[in-house]
Amino acid sequence: SQQGEEDPQALSIQEGENATMNCSYKTSINNLQWYRQNSGRGLVHLILIRSNEREKHSGRLRVTLDTSKKSSSLLITASRAADTASYFCATETGGGADGLTFGKGTHLIIQP
Amino acid sequence: KAGVTQTPRYLIKTRGQQVTLSCSPISGHRSVSWYQQTPGQGLQFLFEYFSETQRNKGNFPGRFSGRQFSNSRSEMNVSTLELGDSALYLCASSLVAIPYNEQFFGPGTRLTVL
C-alpha cells in the first residue's frame, strides 16, 4: 500500500522558475527521503530528512517536514531543463518490514 | 566506486516461464533491497537481504524469491510468470538497511511478459 502521496501528480513550469511538490503520509516515520527518477531508469537519492528535523537544504533543493500534519514539501529553485524527471517521496517507518514506502510521484516538466 | 549494476537490462519472457535477475551492489554494501515498479501500483518493496539472509519481505506471492551470495551480490527469481509481472525491477544497496537511509539504486531490469 502507498504510504506517501505526492501532489501534484504532474507539474509543468518554465525554466528558471521554482517548483514545489508536496508529499503526505499516513503513519509515524523515522525519516522521509526524496528521490528523482529520469525516464524509467534508476532512482537517485536527493535528500533525507529525519523526523526530528523541520527543514533541510542541499544546493537548489529545500525540504520541509511537518510531522504534525504528516506532510513534506520539496522545493527546487531556479529550475533547469535537466530537472525534468519524476520525483518520489519515500518514508521509513522503522522495523524494516516494509522497506522504503514510496508515493506515486510527481512528474515535473521544465519548459525551456 | 562503481555504482549498482543490474543484469540483464531488458528481458522478454512468456507466461509460465521463470526468470532470474541479478544485482551487484556497491562495493562494501551488505544490504540489497528489491523493488517492483509498475504504472498502476508504483514502487513496491519486494524483499531485503543482508549478509545472505532475507530480513524482510513485502506483500508478494511466493513465486517471487531471492537470495544473496557471500560477496553481497543478489539474485531474484520469479517463477510461473504472469502478465502482471511485467515491470521495472530495481535493486538498491546500502551499507546497512535498517533503518532505511540513503539507498543507491541500479538502472533496473525491464521485464516484459507476453
Tens digit of each residue's pLDDT (9 = 90 or more) over A92-108:
887 666 788 899 999 99
Residues in chain A: 112
Of B4, B45, B55, the CB nearest to A100: B45
* Best of B9, B29, B35, B43 to mutate (most A CBs within 10 Å, chain A): B43
Supply the pLDDT for residue A92. 85
CA diameter of chain B: 38
On average, the pLDDT of chain A sits at 91
Name the strands in the sheet holding B74-78, side by side, starting at the edge strand that comes first in the sequence.
B5-7, B19-24, B74-78, B64-68
pLDDT tens, A53-94?
A: 999 999 999 999 999 999 999 999 999 999 999 999 999 887
How far, in Å, CA of B21 to CA of B108, rounded?
Answer: 10
pLDDT tens, A16-45?
A: 999 999 999 998 998 999 999 998 788 999
Q: Do B56 and A98 touch (CB under 8 A)?
A: yes
A33 contacts in chain B (CB < 8 Å): 101-103
Shortest Cα–Cα distance, A6 to chain B (Å): 12
Pairing outcome for strands B10-13 and B109-113? parallel
Supply the pLDDT for residue A42. 87
Low-confidence ranges of chain B (pLDDT < 50): none
Supply the pLDDT for residue B16. 98
The residue with cell 522504503 is: A100
Supply the pLDDT for residue A59. 97
Supply the pLDDT for residue A86. 96
B110 contacts in chain A (CB < 8 Å): 40
Does A52 contact B at CB distance below 8 Å? no
Q: Do B100 and A96 touch (CB under 8 A)?
A: yes
DSSP-assigned letter for residue B51: T
